[in-house]
Amino acid sequence: MCGVIGVFGYDNVATEIINGLQTLQHRGQDSAGIVVFNGSFKMHKGSGTVTNVFKHFPLERFAGEIGLGHVRYSTIGSTEAVDAQPIAVNYPYGLAMVHNGNVVNFNELRRKLYEEHHRLLDTSNDVALILYTLATQLEKKDLRNLSVDDIFDSVQKVQEIVQGAYSAITIIANKGFLAFADPYGIRPLVMGRKFTDKGVVYAFASESTTFDFLGYELMRDLKPGEMIFIDNDRHIHSKIGVTKQQAFCVFEYIYFAREDSVIHNRLVASERVRMGKRLAEKFRKTGLEPDIIIDVPNSAYFFASAMAEELGIPYRRGLAKNYHIGRSFITPNQQEREKMVRQKLNPIRDIVCCKKVAVVDDSIVRGTTSKRIVEMLRQAGAKEIYFISASPPVKHPCVYGIDMSVKREILASHYEVDEIRRYLGADAVIYQDLEDLIDLYKDLPICHACFSGQYPTGAAEEALEAIEKEKLESDRV
Ligand code: AMP
């Protein structure tokens, strides 16, 4: 998963982009980068968090009123700085791009780009495939008189050729600012504006929370298959290109996006409350009577508190979190992951001691977190422990940019709920039902491939194989 931002303003935009990236840091901490255009592209990127990458940033050399920023969370592709975004090419136009998502037919694209266009890609990063595919389409147009129709036609070809999830922002040097989404609209991308003395500044970002911080007004989300081009006179052009049945990633609402973001006119926090209330209905049917409901901080707060409200059971903060520890989920080996969960979370003893505790997390993937939590709660004296997952059983890897590990490590791929309960050592395990989740999103078609295995785009097999291969390689290191 990644976070992207693009700003088309009047003054230098670098500071604003870096500040914006800080608000998207939860979407990726592996690398960060910026590009600004001012007659030529100036790029700065590196491995690590925004603070680390921009610690010694030479701001004075980054003048420019149009720019892009990116934070990366590596899925396919290495975590090395060479794969960090943005990336840029000089031919046929100066083009720079950032994207969020994951391309699934990359082998085919790489082969095509080489065989048909003699472009040999030196990166495993899929944004290069999108950028070069766009460049090869633009190359076919009248380079001196590139029109908006030419640009849209080229993007449409990209949407026909590139399969997977992508929400991309592009600078076309001396022409304007382009954003486009894949035909399914899998990843979020919002458009905003700010009125200044010099004129209207436009921006695109992965999440609206960025706009809150930077003082932009949220205009709208990009629709599936939509492309928006803002020309140098700041006129906005938009068109729906290739479009399919929408499949917005529901895991954005469950876990990934910040709770204060608004995506498709829905506040993420409110979505979590809705899911929590639905979970409460299922929980009620179990006849279990917990004394308290606690959350696994922080993403589960709204699920847990909404459930508690609905069931009339007190909500408490029963686990303290150390906010200064890295991410346990992507720590490569299992032993390290377990240790990290222990360092990250600690039961608040008097809250849980001698009580029947219902503990809510957003998801169970490998079960590392949940198993350790159950152990810790027992050690702290909890009488009974009911583990509740706000998402349905995760059974399949995500090929669209969220790290869901590989199938062999995903608990619910191989075990039934009662076996999972035994493995976790809990007295009950309750998952949200997939049917309930789908029912909650009757009016916003979602991608639920990680629960159902129904991958909306083609070529998922290719991506699944690559994820397996990459995992094997990283296990060997
Ligand atoms: P696991 O320990 O493998 O079962 O992972 C579940 C825990 O990781 C939950 O506490 C989630 O909040 C968190 N989580 C779930 N999906 C992801 C993800 N894609 N990236 C990082 N953390 C995640």
pLDDT tens over the chain, length 477 residues: 899 999 999 999 999 999 999 999 999 999 999 999 999 999 999 999 999 999 999 999 999 999 999 999 865 445 555 578 999 998 888 999 999 999 999 888 988 888 888 888 766 678 999 999 999 999 999 888 999 999 999 999 999 999 999 999 999 999 999 999 999 999 999 999 999 999 999 999 999 999 999 999 999 999 999 999 999 999 999 999 999 999 999 999 999 999 999 999 999 999 999 999 999 999 999 999 999 999 999 899 999 999 999 999 999 999 999 988 766 666 667 777 778 888 899 999 999 999 999 999 999 999 999 999 999 999 999 999 999 999 999 999 999 999 888 999 999 999 999 999 999 999 999 999 999 999 999 999 999 999 999 999 987 888 888 888 877 777 765
DSSP reduced 3-state for 116: helix
DSSP reduced 3-state for 156: helix
Q: What's the CA gap between 222 and 122, in Å, rounded? A: 31
Show which residues are catalytic: 2
CA pseudo-torsion sign 412, 414, 419, 424: negative
The response to whether residue 362 sits with its C-beta less than 6 Å from ligand 1 reads yes
Q: What's the CA gap between 312 and 290, in Å, rounded? A: 11
The response to whether residue 295 sits with its C-beta less than 6 Å from ligand 1 reads no
Q: What's the CA gap between 395 and 398, in Å, rounded? A: 10
CA of 409 relative to ligand 1 center, distance in Å:
12
The response to whether residue 28 sits with its C-beta less than 6 Å from ligand 1 reads no
The preferred substitution site among 253, 254, 255 for testing ligand 1, maximizing ligand atoms within 8 Å of CB, is: 255
| Four-point Cα dihedral 416, 417, 421, 424, nearest 10 | 70
- Per-residue model confidence (pLDDT) at position 107: 87
- Per-residue model confidence (pLDDT) at position 330: 63
CA of 167 relative to ligand 1 center, distance in Å:
23
Write the single-letter amino acid at 136. Answer: T
What is the model's pTM?
0.95
The preferred substitution site among 253, 369, 413 for testing ligand 1, maximizing ligand atoms within 8 Å of CB, is: 369
Tell me which residue has its CA closest to atom 21 in ligand 1: 329
CA of 15 relative to ligand 1 center, distance in Å:
32
Atom of ligand 1 at shortest range from CA of 73: 20
According to DSSP, the residues that pair with 3 across neighbouring strands are 71
- Per-residue model confidence (pLDDT) at position 76: 47
The response to whether residue 255 sits with its C-beta less than 6 Å from ligand 1 reads yes
The response to whether residue 363 sits with its C-beta less than 6 Å from ligand 1 reads yes
Tell me which residue has its CA closest to atom 12 in ligand 1: 362
Q: What's the CA gap between 288 and 285, in Å, rounded? A: 8
Write the single-letter amino acid at 32. Answer: A
| Four-point Cα dihedral 186, 190, 191, 192, nearest 10 | 180
User: Quick one: how far is CA 242 from the chain centroid?
Assistant: 22
The response to whether residue 391 sits with its C-beta less than 6 Å from ligand 1 reads no
The response to whether residue 308 sits with its C-beta less than 6 Å from ligand 1 reads no
**Structural domains of the chain ordered from first start:** 2-247 (3.60.20.10), 265-455 (3.40.50.2020)
The response to whether residue 367 sits with its C-beta less than 6 Å from ligand 1 reads yes
Single out the residue of 104, 78, 26 nearest to residue 457, CA to CA: 104
Atom of ligand 1 at shortest range from CA of 299: 12
Write the single-letter amino acid at 314. Answer: P
Alpha helix positions (H), 139-232: 148-161, 209-214
CA of 193 relative to ligand 1 center, distance in Å:
34
Tell me which residue has its CA closest to atom 18 in ligand 1: 403
DSSP label of 131: H
Q: Which helix (H) or strand (E) holds 319?
A: strand 319-321
- Per-residue model confidence (pLDDT) at position 231: 97
